[in-house]
Amino acid sequence: MGAPRVSRTDEGPDTPMGASPTHIGSPKLRYEAARAVIWAAVIGLAVLAVYISQSLLVIFGAMVFASMIDGGARLLGRWLKIGRGWRVAMVIVAMVAFLAWLGYFAGSQISQQAAQFPAIVGEQLGRLLALLREQGFAISQDDVQNVVGSLVSGVGTVTRAIGGIFGGLATLLLILIIGIYIAIDPNLYERGVAWMVPENHRTAFYDTIERMSFTLRRLLAGRLFGMFAEGLFTWALLAYGGQLIGIDPVPMAALLGLLTGLLAFIPNIGAVISGILMVLVGFSGGTDMGLYTIFVYLLVQNFDGYVLVPMIAKKTVDLAPALVLGAQLIFGVMFGILGLALADPMLAMIKVALERRAERLDESNRLNEASA
C-alpha cells in the first residue's frame, strides 16, 4: 500500500521541504541569472527615470534653491555668530521681502509698461518685415505667423506637463517649499542618500557631495551677482545714460533692466533674448535711440563677458561656452523653460562628479604602482 501520506500539520519543524521550484542548481546559471536581474533592474530604473524626469528636475531645482539659501546662511555666519537655523530664517525672510518689493514695484510701475510692451514689439516686427520686403525679401505676415505658431506648438509639447501658467506657479511653489525643507536640515537628506550607498564607497560619496555643494554655492553666488549687475547697469544706461549725448530716456527702461537681470540666469540664450527686446523697444523711439540701445547691449554684454564671467569662473567651475549652449539646447528641448534654466548648474555638477572620479582613479593607480 506504500507509506501513508503525512499532512502538512503533522510535519515537524525540522522536516526537510526540498528545493524551491525557483532554485537554480548550477552555479553558472545562478551567476548569469543574477547578472540578468541586475541588467533588468538598471534598464527598469532608466525607463522609470524617463517617466519621472520632470519630477526629478523639480527636485534638482529645489536643491539649487536650497544651495542659494545655504550660501546666504554661510555668508551671514561670517559676521553673525548665531545658530544656523536663525541665519536660514533671516535669508528666507530677506527673500520674501525682496519678492514683496518686486511685486509692489512691478505692480505700480512696470505693469503699465508691460501692457504696452507686446504692442511695441509687434509694431517693430512689422516695420522690420516691411524693410525686408523693400530690400527684395519675399516674406509675408502669414509666413512669420506660421513660424511663430510652429515654435509655440513645439514649446507647448515640451512644457505641457507643467500645465500652463497655474502649473508653472505650482511647480515654482514646489521648488520653493522643497528647497526650504532641504536648506533647514541638509544633513538629514544627505545621510538618507548615503545610507543607500555601499559602505566602502561612503567616504568618496561624502567628499563628492561636499565638492558639488561648494561648487554650486559659488556658481549661484556668481550668477546672482551677475544678474544684479547686468540689470542695474542696463536700467541706469537706458534711463539716464542717453541724456549725456542728447538722447531721450529709452521707454520701459525699468522693465528692460528687470528682464535683462532675470534672463541673465540663463547664460548665452538669455542675453540674446534680452538684447532683441531691448533693440526692438529702442527703435520705437527713432534711429538714434535704437542705435544707442545696441551700444548699451554690446557694452553690458562685453562687461559681462570680459569682466564678470572671468572673475566668477575663477571662483566656480570653468565651463566651455559651447558645452553650456549644447546642454541648454538639449535640456530645453527635453524639459522646456525649467530645463533651460537648470542646464548650467546640472552640467557643473556632472563635471565635478567626473573630475572627482578621475582623481580617485589616479590615486588608486598611484597606490598600485607604489605597492608594486
Give the per-residue pLDDT at 25.
Answer: 66
In the chain, the number of structural domains is: 2
* 249 shares a domain with 356: yes
d(CA 340, CA 279): 23
Highest mean pLDDT pick, 129-143, 193-207, 267-281: 193-207
The mean pLDDT value for 167-193 works out to 84
* 223 shares a domain with 168: no
DSSP string over 289-315: HHHHHHHHHHHHHHHIIIIIHHHHHHH
Record the pTM.
0.69
Q: 11 lies in a domain?
A: no
Q: 218 lies in a domain?
A: yes
Q: 75 lies in a domain?
A: yes
**Mean pLDDT of the residues in the chain:** 76
Which residues lie closer than 8 Å to 297 by C-beta, 6 or more apart? 274, 275, 278, 279
Q: 22 lies in a domain?
A: no
Task: Give the residue from 184, 201, 231 where a domain finishes.
Answer: 184
* 241 shares a domain with 129: no
Give the per-residue pLDDT at 90.
Answer: 93
- Structural domain boundaries enclosing 142: 32-184
Give the per-residue pLDDT at 160.
Answer: 40
The predicted-structure confidence for 342-359, as pLDDT tens digits, reads as follows 888 888 888 888 888 888
d(CA 152, CA 141): 16
The predicted-structure confidence for 217-229, as pLDDT tens digits, reads as follows 888 888 888 888 8
DSSP string over 168-185: HHHHHHHHHHHHHHHHH-
d(CA 253, CA 261): 12
Q: 8 lies in a domain?
A: no
* 158 shares a domain with 43: yes
The mean pLDDT value for 251-267 works out to 82
- Provide the strand spans (E) within 156-229: none
Q: For residue 95, which of 76, 116, 115 has the smallest C-alpha distance?
A: 76
Q: In Å, how far are 6, 12, 20, 23, 27 from 17, measured between CA atoms?
A: 13, 11, 8, 13, 21
The predicted-structure confidence for 96-123, as pLDDT tens digits, reads as follows 888 787 777 666 555 555 556 666 666 6
The predicted-structure confidence for 127-163, as pLDDT tens digits, reads as follows 666 766 776 665 555 555 554 444 444 334 333 433 4
* 180 shares a domain with 278: no
Give the per-residue pLDDT at 93.
Answer: 92
More confident residue, 68 or 125: 68
